[in-house]
Amino acid sequence: MSPGEKATLSPYDEAMEALSSLISNRSRADRSNKGDRFDLLFDYIKILELEDPIKQMKIIHVAGTKGKGSTCTFTESILRNCGFRTGLFTSPHLIDVRERFRLNGMDICKEKFMAYFWWCWDRLKERTRDEVPMPTYFHFLALLAFKIFAVEQVEVAILEVGLGGKFDATNVVENPVVCGISSLGYDHMEILGNTLGQIAGQKAGIFKPGVPAFTVPQPEEAMYVLEQKALQLDVPLQVVAPLDPNLLSGLHLGLEGEHQYLNAGLSIALCSTWLHRTGHVGVNYLNQTTSLPKEFIEGLTTAVLQGRAHVFPDNLIESERSGNLVFYLDGAHSPESMDVCAKWFCCAIKEDNQKDRILKNQELSDPGASRELVHIDSHEKSGKNSTQILLFNCMSIREPQLLLPRLMSACDTHGVHFKKALFVPNISLYYKVGTGASPRADYQVDLSWQLTLQRIWENLFHGEKGRNAKIADLTCEEGADDPERGAGICTNSTVFPSLPSAINWLRDSVRKNQSIRFQVLVTGSLHLVGDVLRLIKK
């Protein structure tokens, strides 16, 4: 960046530039970089004078493969509605890094963020050295969270583990009030291990001697490891059941999806135990089977979490005609979460279509419109027909040969079939943080990974189940006269060179098919979900 460009940066963008410098380009599975050493965190804590403040915090610590973010969100909402000043640290962010730091349910404001950011940054810059270099990106964010929560004097700090548990930056906490382990499954295997037992061992690394812990029903192999770790540390470990919907007094959880009742049950146990152990109530709500306090119900039914089972209409198309382009966003990126995502999507679109059936059956408003993407169920008697589109990307460390078949199969089970799949690279650059982070105009995007995803998808349609993705002989156009159309155009899918070009294609398709509701499932990557939200909210 030239000096002239530097001068045009806003103060907040300058902070984002500094934060971005902590991001490593290396693979997360490469453990050779000593900058990732867990033990360095204790040096940083001393530099920032956070030893005593962290010890004094009344912390709830949550790990897991699926549902830990939702569990933390429910937990924060419950305790905030109980009247406590809350601090919530989660990851990743979708649009703005400030989403990771929530005070009383709100993202930290820019003014406070920058004050705390530069205080930590300047102090670390001044006192780090070769033996103790500047912290890595996530280490810095976790340290920043502790600083924010300490100065803001939150009464309860809810910490979501970033990755794993044992060596996660949040695990510098030595005496939390209570710990939780959400559903476990196969994810981050390049770091955490290849078996559920190994993964569970890493997650159980947040257990502390004598500190009560809760989990949800787990696969046998994972549960055995959790129980053994708990036994070794004298941890009272309990398994909690999903929340009974009848306890919500006719209301619905703030987070959509049947699986959220599992996360809600875990959050109730965490909140109940936190209240009990901190001396705020004498009643243990953990075993309540007939009623819940109104504060718990309020917290559970008003909880909000972006990018998980999130329905959002495209603002641009919405201004032209209502309901024609709707995005269903869910950051699922493991095989098990694909099942959950698919079930939620299928139920959500059927509910939306059912609402539309009250409209009088009528002729298509534009009989001459292109029928390329029109998908009409014979039993659909509504004013507007619908078609389902998949917008997908995942990181190259994932296993798309497991993700995509699970998604397609689960949707097929519910009678939902995608008319088209769109594969795109993320806008967000992994080495740059900021609300406007995007490639330069001359940035050349390598689409080889997206073409691999496309081959797996096309093979599913050809009955190959994605297993011969590398050798599949597909009848796709590898290039197109119009660069906006895509690098690979197949019957059932298209690879686009950028997310904006895919969004533009969707908008053009809507305009050509004005009687069709386009229901777009965005999944596979929370980075992609954030990128889409940034574009469609404009």
Task: Enumerate the known binding-site residues for Mg(2+).
Answer: 91, 160, 188
Query: CA 209 to CA 214: how far, in whole Å?
Result: 14
The answer to whether 509 and 317 are in contact (CB under 8 A) is no
- Burial class of residue 464 in the structure, from the number of CB atoms within 10 Å of its CB (0-12 exposed, 13-18 middle, 19+ buried): middle
Instruction: Give the pair of three-digit tokens for residue 391.
Output: 């917008």
Q: Which residues are annotated as a binding site?
A: 91, 160, 188, 308, 330
Query: CA 29 to CA 246: how far, in whole Å?
Result: 44
| Cα angle value 481/484/489 (rounded, 5°) | 65
Long-range contacts of 283-291 (CB under 8 A, 24+ apart): 286/238, 286/240, 288/247, 289/244, 290/247, 291/247
Torsion sign across C-alpha atoms 255, 261, 267, 271:
positive
Let me know how long the chain is. 538
Instruction: Give the pair of three-digit tokens for residue 361.
Output: 């059956």
Instruction: Give the pair of three-digit tokens for residue 257.
Output: 């999806």
Q: Which residues are annotated as a binding site for ATP?
A: 308, 330
- Which residues are CB-contacts of 390 (< 8 A; sequence separation ≥ 6)? 407, 418, 420, 421, 422, 520, 521, 523
- Before 92, cis peptide (omega within 30)? yes
What is the 3-state composition of the chain as percent helix, strand, coil, each rounded to the nearest 5? 45, 10, 45
What is residue 35's DSSP assignment? Answer: G
- Burial class of residue 33 in the structure, from the number of CB atoms within 10 Å of its CB (0-12 exposed, 13-18 middle, 19+ buried): exposed
* Phi, psi for 146 (deg, rounded to 5): -60, -40
Q: For residue 360, what are the CA distances in angstroms to 355, 364, 374, 381, 382?
A: 12, 12, 19, 8, 7
* Phi, psi for 467 (deg, rounded to 5): -80, -20
Instruction: Give the pair of three-digit tokens for residue 470.
Output: 């590398």
Which residue, chain included where needed, has tokens 């990128």?
531
Instruction: Give the pair of three-digit tokens for residue 445.
Output: 């995007």
SS3 227: helix
